[in-house]
Structure 1
Amino acid sequence: MAAEGNVSGYIQHHLTNAQMCMADGGLAFNHACHDAGFWTWHIDSLLFSVGLGALFLFIFYKAGQKATTGVPGKFQCFVEMMVEFVDGAVRDAFHRTDRVIAPIGLTIFVWIFLMNLMDLIPVDFVPHVAGLMGAEYFKIVPTTDLNITLGMSIAVFGLIIFYSIKVKGLKGFTKELTLNPFNHWLMIPFNFLLESVTLLAKPFSLALRLFGNLYAGELIFILIAALVPLWAQWALSVPWAIFHILVIVLQAFIFMMLTIVYLALAHEDH
């Protein structure tokens, strides 16, 4: 439990990323980066997101190397279940043939799940260890950082634009933005405004939904640690952690499914 007069500082400390930026011709960290503007890196979010992505690739690469046509082991069964689950979801939502969509869906689901899973680690454990190593701030849940969720959403948005132009052509994509829903030249400005807002809302909704749910979950863990005595924290943190497992899986699934649906819509040629 945080000291009574320091609850606000405790919460703020746990919600602050470790920052790195360029200032005065060299590298600066944390407080020195407050006025650095756009070129500020959240090194903890980058470290864990890239690290967990590498872990995902390593696990599935090992599963592929050890795959056998005989009786599979537990590890192979688990990986095959994950692949079949995502493949079934893609088949239900995406009705064209594309060898890239299913791997994209699998990557998104497992990667986001692993990043969300970090929220179950006790909130004081990793920051305390990082503090012993000299790090003032250290967050371990990348999906509670809007920069990470928005970065993934922008990547999905890029795929939407790419497939829209690839399938419909630049002329067809332009017509979709300017002649829909009202197919008359006088309505082109209104159509373009309406369709642009709809298109841009996709990445922002993806990013904010994932960020909001995980940020709220992390904040509740922090509030329990800050306001409840240590001996009683388990009575609140354990039930919330069990419920939060559902949020962790569900948010990864929603991000994956919406990505697949958006890419399926990008393949529709009206």
Structure 2
Amino acid sequence: MAVVDAAVAVEAGPVRGRAGAWWLRNLEIAVPAAVVALVALACFVGPLVLPVPPPIGGSVLESYLPAGSPGHLLGTDPNGNDILSRILHGGRSSLTVAVAVNLLGLAVGGTLGALSGYLGGATDTVIMRVLDVLIAFPSLVLTLAVAQSLGASQTNTVLALAFFSVPAFARISRAATLRLRELPFMAAAQLCGTPGWRVLARHVAPNIAPQLITFAMLGMGIVIVIEGALSFLGLGIPPPAPSWGNMISQGQQSLSATPALVVWPCLALFVTVLAFNLLGETLRARWSGR
């Protein structure tokens, strides 16, 4: 029995060592991925387990409390709302918008691009010309116009941003599909009489997924910044619901007296966007072989 236990221990040791060595060799992926995971965990789980008050409904009698006040780790804003609570709930809103926008863009744009690249011909021409028209317009200006016409809300922000993310995902999907279409296994699948939808689902989608996921990681940071800009201008998530953008907008009114109202949401936005950008760039470099 002791011999068996010793053998198991000897087998387990290198496995743990290899796992630890993998993390050490891949710190450029592990560190930003860990930061993204911690931010998501803090925003979505933190308010449920941490003793923080609700993000709205504070008392003006507790306005402008300094950091470290009892029950308010980062202090309070002009309305007496807890800053830490609003940062966590605001991060939840920003991350939800970013995930929804990129999922919609990936699903719609990725599908259109794969169809365009795989089918070619008239289908490719029609799809890509329509998307070229969308790309020709200044997306940020049109996003502002759409958000203003639809009204300020989280749903309208997602729809406005997702609409202009579709062409980018479609172009990446189409380019990757065109490269795949020339490979021998694709020709073999077609010669075997495999239906087109099955070729797309079983051969095209898994092979273009890395490029789309990489772009989605980079897109997360871009969407968070744009959502923050829309909320800053009053066209994104409307107060009193918190988002990092409208927190910065509200905090600038008393920036000289209480800079913490702007510093904390800016820091949260900066760290999150930087982590997504580093993760996306590292994945792009790895999957492209550089």
TM beyond 0.5: no
More contact order relative to length (CA 8 Å, sep ≥ 6): 1
Structure with greater Cα Rg: 2
TM-score by length of 1: 0.31
Larger strand percent: 1
